[in-house]
Amino acid sequence: MQAAGTALDTIMGLAMEGHNDRRQLRQQGKLLEQQAGVDRRQAAFNQQLALETWRQTGPVALTEQLKKAGLSPDYNTAEAEEEDKQ
């Protein structure tokens, strides 16, 4: 009796194997789509953050910071040294 049950379980397992494989592949596809969406949102966020950082620390921002501090952003050290020698 137990052998018949084991044989039936084996037959049912083999019969359901293809169905289970297809179901698993569908689920995996859905999960990969979700991950791709998260990755796209993260990339957009990182790009926005990098752009904002550039706006705050790039050459234009640095020039503005120097002007606000009362410093000349066009100050050339070599020219100043030459003027000091004269």
Mean pLDDT of the chain: 85
Tokens at residue 27, please?
């689920």
Q: pLDDT at position 75, please?
A: 61
* pLDDT of residue 27 exceeding 90: yes
Mean pLDDT of 50-57: 96
Output the six-digit token pair for 65. Answer: 């910071």
Q: Which domain holds residue 16?
A: 2-85
Q: How far is CA 76 from the centre of its chain?
A: 40
Give the pLDDT of residue 82: 67
Cβ atoms of residues 75 and 81 within 8 Å: no
pTM over 0.85: no
Number of domains comprising the chain: 1
Query: Measured on CA atoms in the order 69, 71, 77, 81, is the torsion positive or negative?
Result: negative
Among residues 84, 7, 68, which one has the least CA distance to residue 76? 84
Gap between the Cα atoms of 20 and 26, Å rounded? 10
